[in-house]
Amino acid sequence: MALERNVKKKPARTHDRRNIWLLVLTTVLVVASVALFVPPQEKINQGLDIQGGLSVVLTAKSDDGGAVTADDMEKSRAIIESRVNALGASEATVQVQGSDQILVQIPGLSDTEEALATIGRTGSLTLARLDSFTDQEVVKQIQSGQYANEATFTDDYGNTFPTGETQHLTVEPGTYTPLVTGENITNVTIDRASETGTDYAVNVTLDAEGAAAFAEATAELAPTKGEIVIILDDEVQSAPRVQSEIPNGQVQITGNYTQEEAKNLQTILESGSLPVSFEYAQSQVVGPTLGQDALASGVLVALIGLAVVMLYLLVFYHGLGLITAAAMLVFAVLYLGILAALSAFGLFSLSLAGVAGIVLTIGMAADSSILTLERFREEIRMGRSVRAASITGVRHAILTSIDADLVTLVSALSLFFLASASVKGFGLTLALGILCDIVMMLLFKAPLIRLLAPKAIARHPGFWGTRDSVEAARAGEAAAKAAEADGAAKADGAQAAGTAEAAGAA
């Protein structure tokens, strides 16, 4: 008998040891999550609608009037993405929409005008000899230096004021013969145009083919001091006179550029020219003040929802509500840790739609907790011991919750992979919340209930909110015994009546 009793106790110790290790693992994950997301305003990236920035939709148009190919759109997306990254933008998004549009979202951008002047510019650089131009009016303007003038605007009263920007002379393609194009560029740097000046120049290094063509042209133009016209996106940037042959393929582009303008031009030339032209279909600047107010409101709603759920659980489930409240805190910490980890790798930016997904997952986590508690108490009412109910009841409840969560997970992943950009954040946070809910139930809530059930919960049913279930089980057991006794008495009476009847017949 002693040996048999030891065999029965061994599985209990094994289960307890496993539950303890699961709680230890949960503690490690919680500590790691706290280290990852504190402080959350710095560790979790904020999206465009919260942090503020620029959102632009570019529509492509082919130069020859034909259809824009998918290869042209993908090449354009890569070039625009490299330009956006060169701006120093963090968590920028560049993606193709439909067949002829590119969406560019740059959170935290301060100078939107410079960004607009950089990301959608074609960046087609051409060097041409002035004597190859066929439009004589353009030739006269270039020779007189009237290719770069200060732009002006006229107010309602007829007064003219300078804008501070430079307006360049536009030339039509086909009216000149290209000598060197942007495809011949191998390196681009910026420097001051002169030692005493304040404006900057862009220095371009040509490949062997471009350097040979440029050297031949400068050798021919040097005796007459002919001009080389530098054209960017059909606008004349400068037209320097050739003083001598330039055999090393070094070209300097000047145009009264500021340092920022020179850097943007460098970015454009280094990324290469876009295969198609783009026009701005939609441009929107999101202010950080509005976004931060919306974030504060969303966080407040999430905290209120979490507090209300915890209060409800404490009122209706007493001590078991404490376990669930702790589980909700673990859920929240793990959730924030995952968001911070994804942010560290540049895979996540919190948007207002994402905040909505977070609020929804709080409700889903509460549903799972309530289902677990109700199934646990139901099994006790059915007559199972508290320990047995903590094993079978919690297991069945978690499996049911996982089934429901997986259905919602499919919907969340569908939103993330198939929906538009504004809905992706909702789908991602919803999916992550579901995964955190499942992890919380398996690693924390179930092991904790199973450890507390045999002693703490069984000995103090009033505190843990299981008294009514225990009393219902006892009442059911007593009713069953009474029914059994009544049935036995009736059976004995029937047997006695049968015996008497048999004796009378005898």
pLDDT of residue 3: 43
H or E segment to which residue 409 belongs: helix 386-418
Q: What is the mean pLDDT of residues 441-459?
A: 89
Average pLDDT, the chain: 81
Which residue segments constitute the domains of the chain, with CATH numbers given? Answer: 16-47+287-470 (1.20.1640.10), 53-286 (3.30.1360.200)
CA 216, CA 81: separation in Å to the nearest integer?
36
What is the tens place of the pLDDT at every residue in 367-417? 888 888 889 888 888 888 888 888 888 899 889 888 888 888 998 888 888
Residue with tokens 């354009």: 76
Rounded alpha-carbon distances, angstroms, from residue 226 to 125, 222, 232: 20, 6, 20
Contact 107, 265 (CB under 8 A): no
Is it the case that residue 299 has pLDDT exceeding 90? no
pLDDT band of residue 422 (cuts 50, 70, 90) is low
Q: What is the mean pLDDT of residues 295-307?
A: 78
Is it the case that residue 316 has pLDDT exceeding 60? yes
pLDDT band of residue 444 (cuts 50, 70, 90) is very high
H or E segment to which residue 101 belongs: strand 101-107
pLDDT of residue 8: 47
Cis peptide preceding 461, ω within 30 of 0: no
Q: What is the mean pLDDT of residues 283-297?
A: 71
Question: What sign for the dihedral angle of Cα 30, 32, 34, 36?
Answer: negative
**What long-range pairs does 331-335 form, CB within 8 A, spacing at least 24?**
331/365, 331/436, 331/437, 331/440, 332/306, 333/30, 333/33, 333/34, 333/37, 334/29, 334/30, 334/33, 334/436, 334/439, 334/440, 335/361, 335/432, 335/433, 335/436
Beta strands 250-257 and 235-238, pairing class:
unpaired
CA 309, CA 363: separation in Å to the nearest integer?
8
CA 348, CA 371: separation in Å to the nearest integer?
31
pLDDT band of residue 154 (cuts 50, 70, 90) is low
Is it the case that residue 288 has pLDDT exceeding 70? no
DSSP state of 38: S
HSE, side-chain direction, 13 A CA sphere, residue 210: 20
DSSP state of 47: -
Contact 317, 373 (CB under 8 A): yes
H or E segment to which residue 229 belongs: strand 228-232
Is it the case that residue 286 has pLDDT exceeding 90? no
Q: Considering just the CA atoms, what is the radius of gyration of the chain in Å?
A: 38
pTM, whole model, 2 decimals? 0.62
Contact 248, 23 (CB under 8 A): no
Is it the case that residue 118 has pLDDT exceeding 80? no
Give the phi and the psi of residue 326 in degrees, each rounded to 5: -65, -40
Q: How far is CA 227 from the centre of its chain?
A: 51
What is the tens place of the pLDDT at every residue in 155-174? 666 666 666 667 888 899 88
Is it the case that residue 12 has pLDDT exceeding 90? no
Q: What is the mean pLDDT of residues 122-137?
A: 88
CB 113: neighbour CB atoms within 10 A?
9
